[in-house]
């Protein structure tokens, strides 16, 4: 299990960003909120659907409540906590609205395409979203081509993040040792999944995210580093690469 790094000699700011990542065998990216700026759109349209069903909830409330969860869990919360009925029909209507919004206004997270392009190691996507949603969100952007076909959904495993199933599937597909894999995620669920899988985790914070204490939450769940925006990723990856080199051992 990898815990947050406290040795200041390995903070991202002190590690050169030009060396290759020779000690990392796989870099795993979450999708929503890391690769694509989809979470505000999803929260707003989900709140609109729930409001139309007679449930009092704001877009901000939906963002705080649902972001990072699989759709199965979101449906269960809507039914059990909010009393939503005819869930299938309501979620179908939400999907229609959501995918139209994605088609019109979805963008990559600022700077992420350049970062992904510059990573010289195997990489993949591991998302709690359905494959349909991934195709209609990430699939609309050039980023899809950076990963295809290595795009994995929680639908492919028994348990979504925060369980380790999806990340271990990624490692298996690439024949990578979990201890030499890095997960980049903006959700405590993703960080917890990485820790459970025996991987390093980088917590990703959108500078515009309205949720409070994101960095503290990600660190508390086991992120070895927390970065604000895509620009912080190269140095954090170099830090982990250096740590793996110092370990001198394989998992």
Domain ranges of the chain: 8-37+108-247, 39-105
Q: Indicate the pairing of strand 200-205 with strand 181-185.
A: parallel
> For the segment 192-247, what is each residue's pLDDT rounded down to a tens digit?
999 999 999 999 999 988 778 899 999 999 999 999 999 999 999 999 999 999 87
pLDDT grade for 3, boundaries at 50, 70 and 90? very low
Confidence of residue 248 (pLDDT cuts 50, 70, 90): low
Helix (H), strand (E) at residue 137 = none
**Please, are residues 124 and 147 in contact by the beta-carbon 8 Å criterion?**
yes
Query: Regarding the domain delimited by 39-105, which CATH topology (the fold level of the hierarchy) does it fall under?
Result: DNA polymerase; domain 1 (1.10.150)
Q: For the chain, how many residues are written?
A: 251
The confidence score (pLDDT) of residue 239 equals 97
What angle is formed at CA 53 by the lines to CA 52 and CA 59, rounded to 5 degrees?
60
The C-alpha atoms of residue 178 and residue 175 are separated, in whole angstroms, by: 9
Looking at residues 145-164, what average pLDDT do you find?
97
Residue 89 has pLDDT above 80, yes or no: yes
d(CA 222, CA 115): 23
**pLDDT averaged over the chain?**
91
Predicted model pTM: 0.86
Per DSSP, the residues of 160-181 read -TTSSHHHHHHHHHHT--GGGE
- CA–CA gap between residue 243 and residue 136 (Å, rounded): 37
CATH level 3 topology of 8-37+108-247: Rossmann fold (3.40.50)
Rounded Cα–Cα distance for residues 12 and 232 (Å)? 8
Kindly tell me if the per-residue pLDDT of 167 is higher than 90: yes
Q: What is the mean pLDDT of residues 27-53?
A: 97
**Tokens in use for 148?**
């295809």
Matching CATH topology for 8-37+108-247 and 39-105? no
Considering all CA atoms of the chain, what is the largest pairwise distance in Å, rounded to the nearest integer?
A: 58
User: Rounded mean pLDDT of 138-158?
Assistant: 97
Q: Nearest to residue 119, comparing CAs of 209, 184, 36?
A: 184
Q: How confident is the model at residue 2 (pLDDT cuts 50, 70, 90)?
A: low
pLDDT at 249 over 60: no
For range 139-156, the mean pLDDT = 97
Of the chain, the percentage scoring pLDDT greater than 90 comes to 84
pLDDT of residue 45 exceeding 80? yes
Closest CA to 240 of 181, 194, 152: 181
Looking at per-residue pLDDT, the higher value among 10 and 36 belongs to 36
Q: What does the pLDDT read at residue 49?
A: 97
Q: Cα 71 to chain center, whole Å?
A: 14
Tokens 């906590």 correspond to 81
How do 200-205 and 151-153 pair as beta strands? Answer: unpaired
pLDDT at 14: 36
Helix axes 39-52, 87-105, angle to 10 degrees: 140
Q: Which of 149-163, 177-191, 192-206, 210-224 has the lowest mean pLDDT?
A: 210-224
Euclidean distance between CA atoms 54 and 195, whole angstroms? 39
């Amino acid at each position: 299990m990898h815990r947050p790094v406290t040795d200041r000699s390995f903070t991202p700011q002190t590690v050169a960003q030009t060396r290759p990542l020779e000690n990392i065998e796989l870099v795993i990216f979450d999708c929503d909120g890391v690769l694509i700026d989809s979470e505000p759109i999803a929260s707003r349209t989900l709140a609109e659907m729930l409001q139309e069903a007679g449930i009092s909830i704001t877009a901000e409330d939906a963002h705080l409540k649902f972001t990072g969860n699989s759709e199965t869990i979101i449906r269960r919360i809507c039914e059990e906590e909010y009393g939503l009925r005819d869930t299938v029909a309501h979620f179908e209507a939400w999907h229609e609205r959501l995918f139209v919004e994605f088609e019109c206004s979805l963008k990559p997270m600022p700077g992420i395409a350049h970062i992904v392009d510059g990573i010289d190691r195997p990489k993949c996507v591991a998302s709690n979203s359905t494959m349909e949603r991934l195709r209609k969100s990430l699939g609309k952007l050039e980023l899809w081509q950076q990963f295809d076909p290595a795009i994995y959904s929680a639908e492919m495993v028994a348990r979504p993040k925060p369980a380790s199933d999806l990340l271990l599937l990624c490692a298996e597909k690439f024949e990578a040792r979990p201890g030499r894999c890095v997960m980049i995620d903006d959700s405590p669920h993703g960080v917890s999944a990485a820790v459970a899988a025996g991987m390093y985790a980088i917590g990703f914070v959108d500078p515009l995210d309205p949720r409070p204490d994101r960095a503290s939450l990600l660190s508390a769940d086991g992120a070895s580093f927390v970065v604000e925006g895509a620009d912080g990723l190269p140095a954090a990856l170099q830090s982990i690469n250096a740590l793996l080199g110092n370990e001198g051992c394989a998992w």
